[in-house]
Amino acid sequence: MNRIKQKLQEDKKILSIYFSAGYPNLDDTVKIIHDLETSGVDLIEIGLPFSDPLADGPTIQESSTAALKNGMNTALLFEQLKDIRKTVSIPLILMGYFNPVLQYGVEEFCAQCEEIGIDGLILPDLPLDVYKEEYEDIFKKHGLINVFLITPQTSDERIKAIDDASEGFIYMVSSASTTGAKQGFGSEQSEYFNRIANMELNNPQIVGFGISNAETFEQATQKAKGAIIGSAFIKHLTANGVNAIDDFVKQIR
Amino acid sequence: MKSYHADERGYYGEFGGAFIPEMLYPNCEELRQNYLSIMEEPSFKEEFHQLLKDYVGRPTPLYFAKRLSERYNTKIYLKREDLCHTGAHKVNNTIGQILMAKKLGKNRIIAETGAGQHGVATATVCALMGIQCVVYMGEIDIARQAPNVARMKMLGAEVRPATSGSKTLKDATNEAIRDWINNPVDTHYIIGSVVGPHPYPDMVARFQSVISEEIKNQLQEKEGRENPDYVVACVGGGSNAAGAYYHYLDVPEVGIIAVEAAGKGIDSGESAATSALGKVGIIHGSKTLLMQTQDGQITEPYSISAGLDYPGVGPMHAHLYASGRGEFISITDDDAMKAGLELCKLEGIIPAIESSHALAIFEDRKFGPDDVVVVNLSGRGDKDLQNYIDYFKL
Ligand SMILES: Cc1ncc(COP(=O)(O)O)c(C=O)c1O
């Protein structure tokens, strides 16, 4: 069974951490993954850096730019990850923009992911209809879960269509924003969290954007299955380097 | 019959579509569902055409350039978009989109700009309608286009520097898109060319199509026929070209010539000739040709003309290129500047450097003496004066 699906069956709230591969240093990727696993994180999203990350706020823009400057690219990331399954068992997701995947070749990209032991992909600018028409078969053939996003503006009808097309979890963007833009949640978010919870979707939801500490993690996971931290973790890496990852995770839960 | 227009889903052949994150879906979907029906509304049409006439100054003349024609031994007509209010064709689109925004009930406008022409055209229509306007502009472009920054400010717009990435047009576009993600309800994004996710390329092309509509009528009057042998336009994102080609796209006897900026030469590493140097990919929500690394990172183009300095090209043009319907020519900085100065001397018209690229093809691309060649003169050269001064040491 796909490691993501297995993890989602556990009776606990999921803590997922995002980082940009190749940041702060080109060769930190494997160490970051190891340390996140040993400190008790449930799921890891490895960011494939892109020159024009239009859904991201300044923090992830900067880490992406720095990673590219450090020399990160798709082929190198696959190279760094080739033995990762010898030492870690945590579910791994690659998150990035569609163009680098398209240039690598979607079929080859998915085949590489399978060989390495990647469990899923999040490609925010690969739209639902294009995925279904052109790529779903390829993703499935290679055992990859494709994760879709929903936002407070997504209509119920579309959420249902996304739920039907999903087979893992739904990435619930907490507010109308780019990553790292908002701090904390207000009444608008609780309404949205309730609305989605009441829809009784087939797939569990994991909340992302705007989660930075124990309090926001707790708020986000009252209804949802889990939450994702990105910008706050990257800021931690910027300030403390890669040697204090455990400290960061421990302050979340 | 094969058509070179967008299909219902916003595809030109394999190019186009809407490759957008879910955060942008409601905005684009709202526009997609409404743009055609709004453009068909009589009240919309009337206001649009009234403003084009009384405010923009349309129809712009189709001028037979006698001395230029003699010089190149063919019949050259210039479509005088340089005479539009604000100095370029850009305003045709911003008039259309501000009316669209009003119909959609939006009360805040955002836009991206490179050289500042589209920013000025957007600030202008926002002033006209009394709507709040925020223009994103790369930090580097702000420094090199000071007069247009001042114009936008005088017109009441807020100019926000884009400080990410390479700090130029593509980054300004990223910032505008990010703004739209963060303001999904009250804001309309006025894109400045036939780029971006569906329905933008088609909508902008329709607003610009007034150019070829007028050419047809004017040519009928002057030559007794609606169809020229060739239509020539420069292509940055491709909006002036899309407008000039629009009513001729599916008329095979009309040759379509697209002129891109070669910068310092196609192989110099400093170029913006997307058709020659680009590969299929995704930029700003559209599947099209774009300049990128092997790894799929978007690269920074170069041209002396800021308006042609975009690493992609609208999906309509990618399709015209890939299908062979369009003839693509690239022109270097030097040849464009020379052609710009030549137009000054022969016709008493100072063209925008973008438009000078289209004028420069006559040196090498020969036409028959009876061929009717319409060149879209997309803008005037006032904004480029400093560039001309520096280049020619005037
Ligand atoms: C005068 C002029 N021509 C052409 C362009 C290029 O844009 P497009 O290719 O969309 O017409 C610009 C853009 O700023 C411009 O100002």
B374: closest CA among B84, B74, B5? Answer: B74
Task: State the CATH number of the domain containing residue A246.
Answer: 3.20.20.70
A167 a catalytic residue: no
User: Domain for residue A1, yes or no?
Assistant: no
- DSSP letters, chain A, are --HHHHHHHSSS-EEEEEEETT-SSGGGHHHHHHHHHHTT-SEEEEE---S--TT--HHHHHHHHHHHHHT--HHHHHHHHTTGGGT--S-EEEE--HHHHHHH-HHHHHHHHHHHT--EEE-TTS-HHHIIIIIHHHHHHTTPEEPPEE-TTS-HHHHHHHHHH-SS-EEEE-SSS-TT---S--HHHHHHHHHHHHT--SS-EEEESS--SHHHHHHHTTTSSEEEE-HHHHHHHHHHGGGGHHHHHHHH-
**Residue B166 predicted with pLDDT over 90:** no
Residue B172 near chain A (CB below 8 Å): no
The pLDDT assigned to A63 comes to 97
Q: So what's the ipTM on this one? A: 0.96
Delimit the domains of chain B by residue range.
Answer: 11-51+90-204, 57-88+209-392
Mutate to test the pocket of ligand 1, among B80, B81, B89 (most ligand atoms within 8 A of CB): B89
Mean pLDDT value across chain B:
97
Write down the pTM of the prediction: 0.97
The share of chain B scoring above pLDDT 70, in percent, equals 100
- Residue B280 near residue B287, CB atoms below 8 Å: yes
- pLDDT band at B1, cuts 50/70/90? low
Catalytic member of B112, B175, B260, B354:
B112
- Residue A131 near residue A166, CB atoms below 8 Å: no
Which residues have C-beta within 8 Å of that of residue A210, sequence separation ≥ 6?
A174, A175, A177, A181, A182, A183, A184, A185, A189, A216, A220
Q: Nearest by CB to A127, from B19, B164, B182: name it.
A: B19
Distance from CA of A101 to the nearest CA of B (A): 8
Structural domain count, chain A: 1
- Class of the CATH-defined domain B57-88+209-392: alpha beta
pLDDT in tens, B179-200: 999 999 999 999 999 999 999 9
Q: At what angle do helices A245-252 and A231-240 cross, to 10 degrees?
A: 140
Answer yes or no: is the C-beta of B281 below 6 A from any ligand 1 atom. Answer: no
E-strand stretches of B196-343: 230-234, 255-263, 279-283, 286-290, 326-332
- Residue B226 near residue B251, CB atoms below 8 Å: no
CA-to-CA distance for A162 and A128, rounded, in angstroms?
7
From residue A133, alpha-carbon distances to A82, A165, B128 in Å are 30, 12, 44
Q: What is the whole-number distance in angstroms between the Cα of residue B354 and the centre of ligand 1?
A: 6
A157 a catalytic residue: no
Q: B11-51+90-204 with B57-88+209-392: one CATH topology? A: yes
Tell me the pLDDT of chain A (253 aa) as tens digits.
Answer: 899 999 999 999 999 999 999 999 999 999 999 999 999 999 999 999 999 999 999 999 999 999 999 999 999 999 999 999 999 999 999 999 999 999 999 999 999 999 999 999 999 999 999 999 999 999 999 999 999 999 999 999 999 999 999 999 999 999 988 988 777 899 999 999 999 999 999 999 999 999 999 999 999 999 999 999 999 999 999 999 999 999 999 999 9
Lowest mean pLDDT among A30-39, A181-190, B155-164, B363-372: A181-190
In the three-class reduction of DSSP (H, G, I as helix; E, B as strand; rest coil), residue B8 is classed as: coil
Q: CATH second-level architecture of B11-51+90-204?
A: 3-Layer(aba) Sandwich (3.40)
Tokens 């503006």 map to which residue? A153
User: Encoding tokens for residue A54?
Assistant: 């239009």
pLDDT in tens, B209-232: 999 999 999 999 999 999 999 999
Residue A98 near chain B (CB below 8 Å): yes
Which residues have C-beta within 8 Å of that of residue A79, sequence separation ≥ 6?
none
- pLDDT band at B165, cuts 50/70/90? confident
CA-to-CA distance for B352 and B304, rounded, in angstroms?
11
Residue B90 near chain A (CB below 8 Å): no
User: Encoding tokens for residue B47?
Assistant: 């206001």
Q: Domain span at residue A209?
A: 13-252
CB contact under 8 A, B22 and A154: yes
